[in-house]
Amino acid sequence: MKKTDILFKDITNDKESCSRDFCYIGWEGTGSFAFWKYAEAYFKSAEVLFDKFKTSTGNNFVLDSMGITMCFLYRHFVELTIKYLFVRYVCKTEQEYKTFLNIGHNLHDLWQSVKPKLKELKKRVGSSVNLGILEQYIMEFDRFDKDSMAMRYPIKKDLTKMTGEMRLDIFNLHSKMQDLYWSFVGIDGDIENQLEANVAQDKIDAFLFKYEDLRGRLDEFLNELEPYVEVSDEKIKTIDIIDYIITPKIIKDRENVMNVFRSCSDDELILFDTLYYTGRAIFSRELRLPKNPHEAKIDAVKMCIINMKRDHLEFGKPKNDQINIINKGPDSIVKFIKEVISVIDWNK
């Protein structure tokens, strides 16, 4: 050991050192992603320790050491995950963010700040995750280690023991933490990508008016594409590329498909294009729709409007080069547009 030794050595600009394994930290940002990355880091580290615990039968020093550390790691995973859920789904302002972080480590208070919004979003999409059981697990950890101190120190400031004596079943803890982990992942997956953007009612009404005005033309467009679904991009991969290029029928079908697009007005192409991308988002669950069909319809329309705004498209004005539906295969066009139609026309 020397006074010139460096513990936390940054090798970012050292190409030779960067060729070996290293820990890359500080790139996560300051939003919800950072909290989840750290939460997973603590959970996965506890899993590594559990593997060591399983192979240490009879070695009480190792068993006790692993158990104490795993309790701390699991507990911090729970805290960071609750904070992740708050930042991602509850927090709207920087001040709200700061106020929440000032709560500190108390799991009960942190959970109470997140719970109402999670219940609302869970109900909206009809998630099957049981928040009552999830809360039960969190509250048990809160009773075991309310302020994240029980596994950090052996005694309190008044010199009393931090915890009472117990023979803790680590196998049971590990199993239940697996359940809790997947419940957190499940509720996050169920409620993510819900559309919470505010779109003015007059814009929603205007889009629906144009949609109804072109509804008959939309059916014609889909019917005209139906005979050519076999030449879609999804199907081409099953065809020998040489045969595909030289087959006269396929070449003719491609030209017929292009003629379908050429027969469309700018407004029609704008509508069909935005319906395609919204339908694709619904199909892939990139957009999570509410369980209520009327609310789902409104969210689908909002997404269409957002897509149009993003691509600088507007009914009554010339289309621009952001119209990309022409380059999509008939198979995907028909599938995705029908997907969004089923949502918008749910009550017809």
**pLDDT score, position 250:** 66
Are residues 84 and 151 both part of a single domain? Answer: yes
**pLDDT score, position 20:** 80
The residue whose two tokens read 């990508």 is 193
Tell me the mean pLDDT in the region 269-281: 96
Residue 127 lies in a domain: yes
Residue 11 lies in a domain: no
Task: Answer whether residue 237 shows pLDDT above 70.
Answer: no
Are residues 144 and 245 both part of a single domain? Answer: no
pLDDT-derived band at 249, boundaries 50, 70, 90: low
Q: Which residue has the higher pLDDT, 239 or 286?
A: 286
Amino acid 280 reads R
pLDDT in tens, 191-200: 988 888 889 9
Task: Answer whether residue 55 shows pLDDT above 90.
Answer: yes
Q: How far apart are CA 272 and CA 269, in angstroms?
A: 5
Listed residue (91, 319, 70, 305) closest to 198, CA to CA: 305
Are residues 47 and 187 both part of a single domain? Answer: yes
pLDDT-derived band at 342, boundaries 50, 70, 90: very high
> In Å, how far from its chain's centre is CA 31?
14
**pLDDT score, position 51:** 95
Are residues 155 and 209 both part of a single domain? Answer: no
Q: What are phi and psi of 194, to 5 degrees?
A: -75, 145
**pLDDT score, position 194:** 87
Are residues 75 and 109 both part of a single domain? Answer: yes
- 3-state secondary structure (DSSP) of residue 340: helix
Of 191, 214, 233, which marks where a domain is finished? 191
Are residues 50 and 70 both part of a single domain? Answer: yes
Total domains present in the chain: 2
**pLDDT score, position 244:** 46
Of 140, 164, 191, which marks where a domain is finished? 191
Q: How far apart are CA 330 and CA 336, in angstroms?
A: 10
**pLDDT score, position 15:** 77
CA distances from 9 to 16, 24, 38, 167 (A): 14, 12, 21, 40
Which residues span the domain enclosing 325? 201-344
pLDDT-derived band at 346, boundaries 50, 70, 90: very high
**pLDDT score, position 230:** 64
Question: Tokens in use for 54?
Answer: 């399983």
Report the mean per-residue pLDDT for the chain.
89
Are residues 73 and 222 both part of a single domain? Answer: no
Sequence-ordered list of residues with C-beta below 8 angstroms from that of 115, at least 6 positions apart, any chain:
131, 135
Are residues 85 and 219 both part of a single domain? Answer: no
pLDDT-derived band at 241, boundaries 50, 70, 90: very low
Q: How far apart are CA 260 and CA 265, in angstroms?
A: 11
Are residues 49 and 153 both part of a single domain? Answer: yes
Residue 187 lies in a domain: yes
Put simply, whether the predicted model's pTM sits higher than 0.75 gets the answer: yes
Q: How far apart are CA 246 and CA 241, in angstroms?
A: 9
Are residues 236 and 118 both part of a single domain? Answer: no
Of 191, 222, 242, which marks where a domain is finished? 191
**pLDDT score, position 89:** 93
